[in-house]
Amino acid sequence: GAGVSQTPSNKVTEKGKYVELRCDPISGHTALYWYRQSLGQGPEFLIYFQGTGAADDSGLPNDRFFAVRPEGSVSTLKIQRTERGDSAVYLCASSLTGGSTDTQYFGPGTRLTVL
Amino acid sequence: AQSVAQPEDQVNVAEGNPLTVKCTYSVSGNPYLFWYVQYPNRGLQFLLKYITGDNLVKGSYGFEAEFNKSQTSFHLKKPSALVSDSALYFCAVRTPQTGANNLFFGTGTRLTVIP
């Protein structure tokens, strides 16, 4: 079946602009996660959705970052007033129930470059 | 606090030889441990996980990992390396006792299999 998909695959923007990154999880998966991977580092947690609600947003670095999942499927990560330090690969993952033994399945990521 | 260490940034092994990619962890409570592989310009692919039970876990593509509680380690192994195994490998941990559902990742180990 189809895996997690993310669009766009690459996004180049200028400092101060607003960007939206989209994630389409595996069909039927109720849990959705956003991670950020900087060069040479492992992915770092940003936010976790269970259904439509953000169950844990403790990883969002500041209030410029926001994410939604209005219908419990597709999610959008929104970044306002982008900064050069926001440049990274943004990964989305989904899992069946969000349970602690669940496997998270990752999408290919969106590479964000802020000039 | 929970953390994962991958002490080797780079591992080189000759094709056909056994390979080991090391991972140690530090957590409060019982860990759930995961290995993922990342190929260039692609997302993370799940290899295997340890939740409970048998300390030796078998996963995809002939990989296995051994959970060692006394040494707090979860090393990834394969009896005979293939050139196609060359990639970036990430160890990750989750501790359900903390209530957090996200994964904490190590910084990754780049495996190069030499023909």
Q: Which chain B residue is nearest to residue A43, measuring alpha carbons? A: B105
CATH number of the domain where residue A87 is located: 2.60.40.10
Q: Where in A15-107 does DSSP place strands (E)?
A: 19-24, 31-37, 44-50, 53-56, 65-68, 75-79, 88-95, 105-106
Report CB contact under 8 Å: B96, A44: no
Q: What is chain A's pLDDT, residue by residue, as a tens digit (115 residues)?
A: 589 999 999 999 999 999 999 999 999 999 999 999 999 899 999 999 999 999 999 999 999 999 999 999 999 999 999 999 999 999 999 999 888 889 999 999 999 999 9
The strand pairing partners of A44, in sequence order, are: A36
Report CB contact under 8 Å: B101, A31: yes
Here the tokens at position A4 are 């997690």
The pairs formed by A26-30 with CB atoms below 8 angstroms and a separation of 24 or more are A26/A1, A26/A2, A26/A94, A26/A105, A27/A1, A27/A2, A27/A73, A28/A96, A29/A94, A29/A95, A29/A96, A29/A105, A30/A72, A30/A96, A30/A97, A30/A98
Contacts of A59 in chain B (CB under 8 A): 102
Q: Does B42 touch chain A (CB under 8 A)?
A: yes
Domain count, chain A: 1
For B54, counting Cβ atoms within 10 Å of its Cβ (0-12 exposed, 13-18 middle, 19+ buried), the class is exposed
- Please, are residues B68 and B76 in contact by the beta-carbon 8 Å criterion? no
- In this predicted structure, what is the pLDDT of residue A2? 83
Contacts of B96 in chain A (CB under 8 A): 100
Domain that holds residue A45: 5-100
Contacts of A105 in chain B (CB under 8 A): 46
Q: Which residue, among B96, B51, B61, has the nearest Cα to B82 in the 3D structure?
A: B61
Domain count, chain B: 1
Q: Chain A closest CA to B80's CA: distance in Å?
A: 26
Q: Does B97 touch chain A (CB under 8 A)?
A: no
CATH number of the domain where residue B26 is located: 2.60.40.10
- In this predicted structure, what is the pLDDT of residue A1? 56
Low-confidence ranges of chain B (pLDDT < 70): 98-99
Q: Does B88 touch chain A (CB under 8 A)?
A: no
Give Dmax over CA atoms of chain A in angstroms: 40
- Please, are residues B103 and B23 in contact by the beta-carbon 8 Å criterion? no
Report CB contact under 8 Å: B90, A55: no
Query: For B101, which of A4, A98, A105 is closest by C-beta distance?
Result: A98
Instruction: Note whether residue A114 is domain-resident.
Output: no
- Residue B1's SS3 state is coil
Instruction: Note whether residue A51 is domain-resident.
Output: yes
- In this predicted structure, what is the pLDDT of residue B101? 78
Instruction: Note whether residue A113 is domain-resident.
Output: no
- The residue type found at B7 is P
Q: Which chain A residue is nearest to residue B44, measuring alpha carbons? A: A106
Domain that holds residue B24: 3-114
